[in-house]
Chains A and B, each alone.
Chain A
Amino acid sequence: MSEEGFFNQLERIPRELIYAVLLIGLCYVLVYPVGLPIKVSGETKELYDSIEELPDDSVVLVDIAFGAGGMPELGPAFTAVMHHLYQRDLRVIVMTLYTEGPQMYDILVVNKIEPESSYDKTYGVDWCFFGYNAGGVTTMAELARNMRILETDYRDTPLDQLQVMEGVEDYTDVDLVITFSTSSGGISSPADWVQQWATPYEVPMACVVLKMMIPTVSPYYGTGQVDALIPGAGASAEYELLVNRPDEGLASTDALSVAHLIVIILVILGNIAYFGKGGGIAT
């Protein structure tokens, strides 16, 4: 085969083959993991420390702003962080402005973490869930002024009857807000939380977002409006290590490595074919 023929062949690898290599590579390493060690990044440790340093009985407001689309990445991170919150003696208020938020709560908190049996926690005393509200940023803005605006939790129990809500009237009674968000500018985005809570009222805020959202949220982190910012991908594995709850985050670490290596190899192959065929760099 001539050199030119080889590079022509190299440039025409069928996409089906690429997809098959990707799928087989990922499946293989998921079934037979390598188990290489991972390092905990400074950012993940920052979020961990901000929860760890909260005094007992502190109030943490957790916002579920993801649905099925973000669950593979944010689900493991959410689970790991919630494990941490339940390991401490804190009051956790879970809320959602996402239509799929209640389902994420059911799947991840009720059915997976099972706080009552795993941590001896009591609903209504140690944590509560407001349920879904369709108000979007309007609800978020109003909650800062009146935490009882929704009046009942998702079981229609009046908030006044929940011990966990005792003394929680407005933003001054919330010690930390953690939002798990897939939204860059839509409902319940980190930008909304920064605009409605963190900036005007200086409430400490942590954001766990999709890795690809890090650039758009990082300006808030740089100014200190957001105190901790971690991506779901990668950081979920690190957080699972910190709270000693290995789960999907750690399980996907090797597969992430294989996926990235395949992408790098494909870029290199594509460029070898391009330059081998005589392609140049246009100025």
Chain B
Amino acid sequence: MSVMIKKQIPLVIAFIVGVILVFEWFIPTNLGDAVGTGLRESGIIINSFAIMAGVIGLYLNEIRKVSLRRDDWQYSVWMLLVVSLFILIGVPFGYESTNYQWMYNSILMPLGATMYGSISFYIAAASYRVLKFRSVQSIVLLIPAMILILGNTPMITSVWSGFTDTGGWIMTNITQPVYTGIMIGVALGTLATGLRTLLGMETGWLGRREEGE
């Protein structure tokens, strides 16, 4: 009984919901359309809670670090302060409020933008240390890379378009078909995994398990 409530019924719910949406698509009926719409609208609401679930995990994790005085626990105090500040200003006053926009523009925006931009330093270092013509395979990898890099250099392409044209040919006639093959493989895997999930053979999404489940 316990296993049924904790595991079997959720698996059945996932199966029924998934099957309804698939059948609604391939066999259109008024009833199917109405139920499908209801399910999709429900999904929009449930997704909002899923996004908020992350904050509970953060609070629990960081509070534990502070209480146990783990390494760098001071940063955990700061993190809890920042999360709380965003929520305390954003929820009652709205994300459109002046104060919240100020916080976003001063804190989140520059951090987010720089976090991904700083990878370019490592690309520069890797270009020097790692990108070497040490084997046939590395030559096959590096020559198109160099052609594309030169083809993406406006100073060169404004004078001579050879690299751009060659790079374009590589992208259209080699890169595109290669990624098409990869896309087909990934799609087959997605279908297989999706079917396994609906049939209850993939249960990773259940999360933590007890003995006997």
| Interface residues in chain A, defined as those with a beta carbon under 8 Å from any beta carbon in chain B | 13, 15, 18-19, 22, 34, 36-39, 41, 67-72, 99-100, 102-103, 106-107, 133-136, 138-139, 141-142, 145-146, 149, 154, 211, 214-216, 218-219, 221-222, 233-234, 237, 253-254, 256-257, 259-264, 266-267, 269-271, 274-275, 279-283
| Inter-chain contact A103/B41, CB cutoff 8 Å | no
Bound: A139/B39 CA distance, A: 11
Most chain A beta-carbon neighbours within 10 Å: one of B37, B111, B121, B127: B127
Bound: A274/B175 CA distance, A: 29
| Inter-chain contact B124/A134, CB cutoff 8 Å | no
| Inter-chain contact B158/A37, CB cutoff 8 Å | yes
| Inter-chain contact B131/A267, CB cutoff 8 Å | yes
- Which residues of the partner chain B approach A267 to less than 8 Å between Cβ atoms? 127-128, 131, 142, 146
Q: How far is the CB of A71 from chain B (nearest CB, A)?
A: 6
| Inter-chain contact A256/B152, CB cutoff 8 Å | yes
A138's contact among B47, B104, B123, B142, by CB below 8 Å, is which? B47
Q: A68-B108, A260-B149, A264-B150 are in contact. Are A218 and B155 (CB under 8 A)?
A: no
| Inter-chain contact A136/B37, CB cutoff 8 Å | no
Chain B facing A: main interface SS? helix
| Inter-chain contact B157/A39, CB cutoff 8 Å | yes
* Residue B156 interfacial (CB < 8 Å): yes
| Inter-chain contact A18/B125, CB cutoff 8 Å | yes
Excluding A68-B112, A134-B48, A283-B135, 6 further A-B contacts by CB distance (< 8 Å) are A38-B157, A103-B104, A138-B40, A237-B154, A256-B152, A270-B130
* Residue B120 interfacial (CB < 8 Å): yes
* Residue B117 interfacial (CB < 8 Å): yes
Q: How far is the CB of A10 from chain B (nearest CB, A)?
A: 10
Bound: A145/B34 CA distance, A: 12
Most chain A beta-carbon neighbours within 10 Å: one of B47, B95, B108, B128: B128
* Residue B113 interfacial (CB < 8 Å): yes
- Which residues of the partner chain B approach A34 to less than 8 Å between Cβ atoms? 155
Q: How far is the CB of B109 from chain A (nearest CB, A)?
A: 4
- Which residues of the partner chain B approach A269 to less than 8 Å between Cβ atoms? 128
Q: How far is the CB of A157 from chain B (nearest CB, A)?
A: 13
* Residue B179 interfacial (CB < 8 Å): yes
| Inter-chain contact A263/B113, CB cutoff 8 Å | no
| Inter-chain contact B161/A39, CB cutoff 8 Å | yes
- Which residues of the partner chain A approach B41 to less than 8 Å between Cβ atoms? 142, 149
| Inter-chain contact A68/B154, CB cutoff 8 Å | no
Please report which residues of chain B, range 126-147, place their CB below 8 angstroms from some CB of chain A when the two chains form the complex: 127-136, 139, 142, 146
| Inter-chain contact A215/B121, CB cutoff 8 Å | no
| Inter-chain contact B109/A138, CB cutoff 8 Å | no
| Inter-chain contact B128/A38, CB cutoff 8 Å | no
Q: A13-B128, A37-B158, A142-B41 are in contact. Are A271 and B133 (CB under 8 A)?
A: yes
Fill in one digit per residue for B79-104: 1 if any A CB lies within 8 Å of its CB, else 0. 00000000000000001100001001
| Inter-chain contact A281/B136, CB cutoff 8 Å | yes
- Which residues of the partner chain B approach A221 to less than 8 Å between Cβ atoms? 176
Bound: A15/B129 CA distance, A: 9
Q: A36-B154, A133-B44, A215-B175 are in contact. Are A103 and B109 (CB under 8 A)?
A: yes
Bound: A139/B51 CA distance, A: 15
* Residue B115 interfacial (CB < 8 Å): yes
Bound: A41/B124 CA distance, A: 27
- Which residues of the partner chain A approach B44 to less than 8 Å between Cβ atoms? 133-135, 138-139, 142
Q: How far is the CB of B153 from chain A (nearest CB, A)?
A: 4
- Which residues of the partner chain B approach A216 to less than 8 Å between Cβ atoms? 179, 183
| Inter-chain contact B124/A274, CB cutoff 8 Å | no
Most chain B beta-carbon neighbours within 10 Å: one of A134, A146, A261, A271: A134
Most chain B beta-carbon neighbours within 10 Å: one of A41, A142, A262: A142
| Inter-chain contact B153/A260, CB cutoff 8 Å | yes
A266's contact among B128, B136, B139, by CB below 8 Å, is which? B128
* Residue B43 interfacial (CB < 8 Å): yes
B112's contact among A36, A67, A133, A283, by CB below 8 Å, is which? A67
| Inter-chain contact A279/B134, CB cutoff 8 Å | yes
Bound: A68/B106 CA distance, A: 11
- Which residues of the partner chain B approach A106 to less than 8 Å between Cβ atoms? 96, 101
- Which residues of the partner chain A approach B58 to less than 8 Å between Cβ atoms? none
Q: How far is the CB of A23 from chain B (nearest CB, A)?
A: 9
Fill in one digit per residue for B154-175: 1 if any A CB lies within 8 Å of its CB, else 0. 1111100100100000011001
Bound: A280/B132 CA distance, A: 10
* Residue B110 interfacial (CB < 8 Å): yes
Bound: A253/B157 CA distance, A: 12
Q: How far is the CB of B40 from chain A (nearest CB, A)?
A: 5
